[in-house]
Structure 1
Amino acid sequence: MLTVVGYYDWQSNEKSVSEEEFFVHCCGRYKLVRTERFQTERPQGAANYQLIYIADGSARFMMDGKLYTLEKGNCILYRPGEAQYYYYHLEEHPDIYWVHFSCHEGCALLEQLNFQEGNIYNVGIHNSYIHLFDNIIQELQLKQPFCEEQLKLMIQQLLLKMGRNRMIQNNLFENYNKEVEEAIRLFHLAPEKDYTIKEFTRERGLNYYRFIDTFTKYVGMSPRQYIINIRMTTAKELLTNSLFQISEVAQLTGYDNPLYFSRLFKKTWGVSPTEYRNISGKA
């Protein structure tokens, strides 16, 4: 069996607890290579939380007297004191990542991410999970300065990614739309570009009015206003640099007419570009 494990210290295991808001005790990867069967049976459970992610193959879990076979892309979260019965079989090619961690009772993050009901969650297949698990293992092995803080951030990031992807996969995030997400990335990549929303939708075979409606519901403003907000925020940053004339700032943010740019800037921020430059220069 391929085993890669990292421990906070040599006493860290399923019995470890911490008073910290989030604390990682140990983390590892199990992959059956020759061993026919591997099992864990803890009738009294663990003293901490255990998150198990199936990166490949499948694994079996006994919950409330019922045996579940979970495929890759699923995870199971055991809370402190919950009975743990799980079994890995070579013919099912399991590749499993796991982590034991402590967090406060009634953890707001777990509740916010809908990890409070049930134990089994479909979080999808994402390389980012593997990357985070591997980094957590390495951090536990190397124990570099500030490792506790780094581990806290990484376990929270792992939970956040899983929670977000679970919500998207289960359509719990009603306004989620991949085309809107693509548009946001493009707008931020080159906000100065003369985007025509009709051209954007036509090139992608989208319904213009439906896209406008979906974008507005998802983001809270129209695509045009979103682009303006990006440009005006960029303009504020550029105006703090005295090397740029106001007309140059206008061009860099997508406006050939400096007067129109100035009017739009004042409408957005309540002061003209000149006034903002004077104020920021005195700050």
Structure 2
Amino acid sequence: MSGTPVETQGSLSERLFWRFTVLVLVLYALLPVAWLTSLSLKPSGDLTDRHFFPRAISLEHYAAVLTDPQFPAALGNSLGIGLIATGISVALATLAAYAIVRLRFPGRRAVLIGALAVAMFPPIAVIGPLFDLWRLLGLFDTWLGLILPYISLTLPLAIWTIAAFFREIPWELEQAARVDGATRMQAFRLVILPLVAPGVFASAILVFIFAWNDFLFAAALTSTTDSRTVPVAIAFFTGSSRFDQPTGSIAAASVLVTLPVVALVLAFQRRIVAGLTAGAVKG
């Protein structure tokens, strides 16, 4: 009886400690976002002051960004390229993960190791050769020239994420479907695929975020607004004169670009966490 209050007090202090730690980390992570939002709402004359919060709220930078013709074009490029790359990458990763987990063939582990090696390879190392190859093949400054690298770099992550879900599925369900007369493809499409939908969804979100936020490939493999994505378009913002820094416009555009990603993560955070932690615990 005497040990119960001590244990209760200890558990309470531990919970308070972790809540305080999480709060500090969240505030630390949100501080740059808050500062960026504050800059985007300041009038042009107040951008150089030292006040964290704007003394007067102005939407002039948002109006300038939305009326800039290169920003809507870049927004469309980012959305189109991201969706196409996500769809192809997730579709290929789903089939590859099923084959790796369900089928037995020589070199199965080598495929997984190779996918992991590709994921760990530094992207900056391939920019130079890829630039020359794309110029030779006519893929420079095209949607396809960005979609192909995005698929190559995100496919390993998608395979590992979806494969973790496939490992948790009892394969007796597929066998039962086969006994009932379904083909392997029908069993995969009607029985197995709905069960791995959370992993597929989580992978799709991660792939789309990578394609949406990429700056390296978009900056090196594009030169015009035909395929330039939002991160690169923001870097090309200029002030009204050569002495005017486009700080407010860059901040406003960054907030507009960040909002869809934040909303996507907040709306589907449970699916993302489930997809990333699948297979982490057995029992």
Q: Does TM-score exceed 0.5, indicating one fold?
A: no
| Greater helix proportion | 2
Bigger-Rg structure (1/2): 1
TMscore range, shorter length: under 0.3
Q: Structure 2-normalised TM-score?
A: 0.22
Alignment TM-score, normalising by the size of structure 1: 0.22
Structure with the higher fraction of residues in strand conformation: 1
